Structure 1
Amino acid sequence: MSFKKIERTKEIDRRRHRKAKLAKLRARYHAAKTEAERKDIYSRAARLSPWLSVEEFANPSTAAVTAQ
């Protein structure tokens, strides 16, 4: 017997997955040695979350404070 996920559960799963993926990309961004690598990693993050600026992506804790 298979159960379908309800819409809210799907939404929560998408958010959790996006958050985890962004965390991995942030770690790679900070470990990158060249600006070209950083641009490539940010472009991947922008596809995942287009509303993020470079500053918000690089420093998420400061972006949350300034947004309030």
Structure 2
Amino acid sequence: MPKPIEDLTAILQAGGGFEISALDYDPTVLAGVIGQMNQSSVLRVRDAAHWTQDQLISVAQNAPPGVAEFVF
């Protein structure tokens, strides 16, 4: 079961990262919180082929450099 976005936000604010499935989260919702990620954290998105190219780029641009990883 996916974690609520509020839980993910708390994890990010504490300096953590996580791995999620693109099937469970809307990238527009994530884009609003991933800018808070620490540059040493990792956001790994499994099933990334389910998002459009524009959605992938949006997530990558909103995260600190090097933080977003996509698994297709």
Fold shared by both chains (TM-score > 0.5): no
* TM-score after normalising by structure 2: 0.29
Calculate the TM-score normalised by the size of structure 1: 0.30
Q: Which has the larger radius of gyration?
A: 1
Q: Which has the higher contact order (CA 8 A, sep 6+)?
A: 2
Which has more strand, going by share of residues? 2
